[in-house]
């Protein structure tokens, strides 16, 4: 004797939802509410298995049920039952969302990779630095030869006042005066340019 033991109750057959879809196609909101109550949880469960994200699953389920409302007039009862029709819509919407999310993540990754090489801030900083260097060179050209030599030796080559004096074969007091006057002229020139 063959007996089949059911550990859980046998699933109840789906109610006939075709008349509800026909009424929804005519704009019957009560019929839509009944259809929604009968199918939204099932659609959500399917979408949730695909997306694995609760918030997105809820959003996509709402889109699915809105699709059902909008496309009820296109439902063809001869081609199949309502539940598979709605589950097909749900599955397609969920897969579309997965594809969209993957494509968006890939776009973000590509943008991050390309902007990571030359960020705007780095480019702006380089341009600003180049302009500042040009301005300093222009202001240095406005100094007398002796002032320019003293400033370059002290600030660009890092020589002490005594070393500048020895290098230029000039008394230390004269070097200090040239440096002071040169720096004042540079400050005025750079301050006027900004």
User: What CA–CA distance (Å, rounded) separates 174 from 37?
Assistant: 96
pTM for the full predicted model: 0.52
Least confident residue range of 63-72, 113-122, 156-165, 182-191: 113-122
pLDDT bracket for residue 7 (50, 70, 90): very low
Contact in structure between 151 and 179 (CB atoms under 8 Å): yes
**pLDDT tens-digit readout, 19-67:** 999 999 999 999 999 999 999 999 999 999 999 889 999 999 999 999 9
Where do runs of H (alpha helix) occur along the chain?
Answer: 18-25, 29-51, 54-71, 82-117, 120-141, 145-151, 161-168, 172-193
Compute the half-sphere exposure of residue 57: CA atoms within 13 Å on the CB side of its CA: 15
């Amino acid at each position: 004797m063959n007996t089949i033991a059911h550990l859980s109750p046998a699933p109840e057959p789906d109610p006939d939802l075709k008349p509800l879809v026909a009424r929804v196609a005519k704009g019957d909101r009560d019929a839509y509410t009944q259809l929604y109550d009968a199918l939204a949880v099932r659609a959500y469960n399917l979408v949730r298995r695909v997306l694995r994200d609760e918030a997105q699953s809820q959003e996509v389920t709402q889109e699915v049920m809105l699709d059902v409302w909008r496309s009820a007039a296109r439902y063809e009862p001869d081609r199949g039952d309502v539940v598979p029709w709605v589950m097909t819509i749900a599955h397609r919407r969920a897969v579309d969302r997965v594809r969209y999310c993957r494509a968006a993540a890939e776009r973000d990754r590509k943008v991050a990779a390309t902007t990571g090489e030359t960020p705007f801030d780095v480019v702006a900083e380089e341009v600003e630095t180049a302009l500042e260097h040009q301005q300093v060179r222009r202001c240095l050209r406005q100094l007398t030869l002796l002032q320019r030599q003293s400033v370059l030796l002290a600030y660009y080559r890092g020589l002490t006042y005594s070393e500048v004096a020895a290098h230029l074969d000039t008394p230390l007091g004269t070097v200090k005066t040239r440096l002071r006057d040169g720096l004042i002229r540079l400050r005025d020139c750079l301050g006027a340019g900004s």
